[in-house]
Amino acid sequence: MSRRDRSGLLSPTAGKPRIRQDVRLFLMALPFLALIFVFSYLPLYGWIYAFFDFRPGFRLADCEFRGLFFFRLMVSDPVSRGEVIRVLTNTFAISGLNLSIQVLPLFFAVFLVEIRSSRLRRTVQSLTTMPNFLSWPLVFAFAYSMLSVDDGFINRLLVQVGALGNPVNFLASSDHVWLTQTGYLVWKTLGWTAIIYLAAISSIDSELYEAAEIDGADRFRIMRHITIPHLLPTFFVLVLLSIANFLNNGMEQYFVFQNALNKDRIEVLDLYVYNIGIRSGMMGYNYSFATAVGVLKSLVSVVLLFVANWGSKRIRGVSIL
Partner 1 sequence: MKGFTGKLLAVLLSLSLSLILVACQGPEPTSTPTTGGVTESATPTPEPLTPVQITALAGPGTMSGVQTDPIAKEVFEKRFGLTIDFIFAGDKFEERLATEMSSGELPDLVCFTNRKQAETAVQANLLLDLDPLLAEYGQDLSANMPAMLQFMRDNLSGGSGKLYGLTNYVGSQTMTDAIHLALYTRWDLYKQVGAPQVDTYEELLPVFRQMQDLEPENDKGQKNYTFTLWADWDANEMAMANWTIVNYRGVNNSQDNGTLAFTEYNQETKQLKSMFDPDSTYLQTIRFYFKANQMGLLDPDSVTQKFDNVLNKLNDGRLLTAYWGWMAATFNGSPLVEANPLAGMIPVFPKKEARLFLSPNSPVGREFVWSVGAKTQYADRIVSLLNFAATARGAAELMNGVEGTDWSIVDGKAQFLGDNLEKFVTNDPTVKYIGMYEPMCLMSPWNVDPRTGEPINRTCWSQVIRRNLRESEKQWAEANGVLNAFDFASKNLVTVQHDAVSNMTSAPPDNIKIIQQKLAELAKAQSWKMIYAKSEAEFESLLQELLEKAQGLGSETNFEWAQNELAAAKEKAGKYVEFNVN
Sign of CA dihedral 33, 35, 39, 44: positive
User: Can residue 48 be called a binding residue for partner 1 (CB under 8 A)?
Assistant: no
50, with CB counted inside 10 A (0-12, 13-18, 19+), is: buried
Least distance CB 132 / partner 1 (angstroms): 24
Region binding partner 1 by CB under 8 A among candidate stretches 6-14, 70-78, 113-121, 179-187: 70-78
Among 47, 58, 153, 310, binds partner 1 (CB under 8 A): 58
Residue 154 or 261 having the CB closest to partner 1:
261
CB of 279 to partner 1, least distance (A): 7
Residue 247 burial (CB count, 10 A)? 17
Binding window for partner 1 (CB under 8 A); candidates: 112-120, 126-134, 197-205, 284-292 = 284-292
Please tell me whether residue 164 binds partner 1 under the rule CB under 8 A: no
Q: Is 52 helix (H, G, I), strand (E, B) or coil?
A: strand
What minimum distance in Å lies between the beta carbon of 59 and partner 1? 7
How many C-beta neighbours within 10 Å does residue 167 have? 17
User: Would you count residue 281 as binding partner 1 (CB under 8 A)?
Assistant: yes
Our finding on whether 79 is near partner 1 (CB under 8 A) is yes
> How far is Cα 152 from Cα 157, in angstroms, rounded to an integer?
9
Task: For residue 71, give the nearest of 298, 305, 303, 304 by alpha carbon.
Answer: 298
Cα distances (angstroms) measured from residue 288 to each of 45, 62, 119, 292, 302: 13, 14, 55, 6, 21
Which positions touch partner 1 (CB under 8 A)? 24, 27-28, 30-31, 34-35, 38, 42, 53, 55-59, 73, 77-80, 144, 148-151, 167, 169, 171-172, 259-261, 263-264, 275-276, 278-287
